[in-house]
Structure 1
């Protein structure tokens, strides 16, 4: 083993001190970059081919001590809030009207028309000139007074499809009045089928199942039922019949959205179906509320009497 040399030890010590000083100087001048700065460098490394580009990157990547003092690239110094123009109406009803056929719950117009075929001119005029009628998803009519001699072609406006249940004079022993029908907007739904219908001495109804183009994921379909109960009917028998019908298609499809509307006169569906809510609270004929609209979902419908 070679003898230990003092000169070798002093040289090694000087080299070690030099390395310590060098590492300290490098750490003192080391650059710190934020995440956005590194992403900016990565996205511009292939584009920085000129001296101007390199100068811009070097200017941007200056050493920083506080990342909060750096303005991020691509972000404005202030956020501009877009305000609604003056004179434009706001509110939930306006937003729903702007959605037209893509509302979460279909818009429904309920009428006791008392003979439909002689009111078609007025209905077509309103559909052509009033947005509430044009964009309405469903028209629910009671007391249509239709017969087999009235073809569907004269009863459905352009863009709508009719589904009807006429009164059977043999069963009801009444030759005049009665009958229910739906007018469905083709912009809202075209996949429709009749699931139940009936014409009895105490109640007339028509139930259809719709699978519209737009529907919240909570519901698999929309089941609509149009009802007419005449003033002298046995309300207990009529409501029990309706309860059985509604229970049958609710059991078949528990995720369907059920809406029952029509002319109930003195009857109240809540007496046999307590989970259903009646949304029509304003008088519909004189001072009485005879036309009802029921749905089990709280707050699903809102009555608008301006139509």
Structure 2
């Protein structure tokens, strides 16, 4: 999976393009993260990891925003896509090992995991993480989720 960054007037776009051979998918695609450059200096955005398999696509990006509470050294955003045809257990193992490595390498980081999880269930895999999406995101199911390593993070707006 190849990662690229591009900057527009307001956003830095971090892409991880799908590798059709590795993912075994016929269509193009991949993951993208937009970073508001008024929130974070583009020079403080680093791709930490990209993974592309038939079971999961993952992009991990380290960020150092202009303002961050003192208890955090920086933020790491992990974006995932788990296809409907994926082996959920293998996808969860990849997420767990990637997140564990990131937490070991960056113990003071605020870490969030976002994306389309389809049928994969992460609560047992991600102990110590809170799932913030509580409402249905597709029909009567919660498929798009957001986890963070802070129990009571002010991640919602009123």
TM-score clears 0.5: yes
Give 1:254 deviation, angstroms.
0.4
- 1:171 paired with 2:8, answer no
Give 1:203 deviation, angstroms.
0.2
Q: Is the 8 A contact 2:10 2:37 kept in 1?
A: yes
Give 1:296 deviation, angstroms.
1.7
Q: 1:188 to 1:273 in 2, by over 3 A?
A: same
Match of 1:276 among 129, 134, 138: 129
Q: 1:162 to 1:288 in 2, by over 3 A?
A: same
- 1:219 paired with 2:72, answer yes
Q: 1:182 to 1:287 in 2, by over 3 A?
A: same
Secondary structure of the 2:40 match is coil
- 1:187 paired with 2:6, answer no
Q: Is the 8 A contact 2:20 2:28 kept in 1?
A: no
Structure 1 gap segments, 5+ residues each? 1-146
- 1:229 paired with 2:82, answer yes
Q: More helix per residue: 1 or 2?
A: 1
* Number of aligned residue pairs: 155
Give 1:249 deviation, angstroms.
1.2
Q: More strand per residue: 1 or 2?
A: 2
Secondary structure of the 2:97 match is helix
Match of 2:50 in 1: 197
Match of 2:149 in 1: 296
Q: 1:167 to 1:195 in 2, by over 3 A?
A: same
Match of 1:257 in 2: 110
Residues 169-210 of structure 1, C-alpha deviations (whole Å, 9 max, x = no match): 111121215411100000111211101111111000100111
Q: 2: CA distance between counterparts of 1:289 and 1:226?
A: 16
Q: 1: CA distance between counterparts of 2:125 and 2:111?
A: 15
Match of 2:11 in 1: 160
Give 1:166 deviation, angstroms.
1.2
**Coordinate RMSD, CA, aligned:** 2.1
Q: 1: CA distance between counterparts of 2:110 and 2:152?
A: 13
Q: 2: CA distance between counterparts of 1:251 and 1:204?
A: 21
Q: 1:301 to 1:232 in 2, by over 3 A?
A: farther
> So what's the TM-score if we normalise by structure 2?
0.90
Structure 2 gap segments, 5+ residues each? none
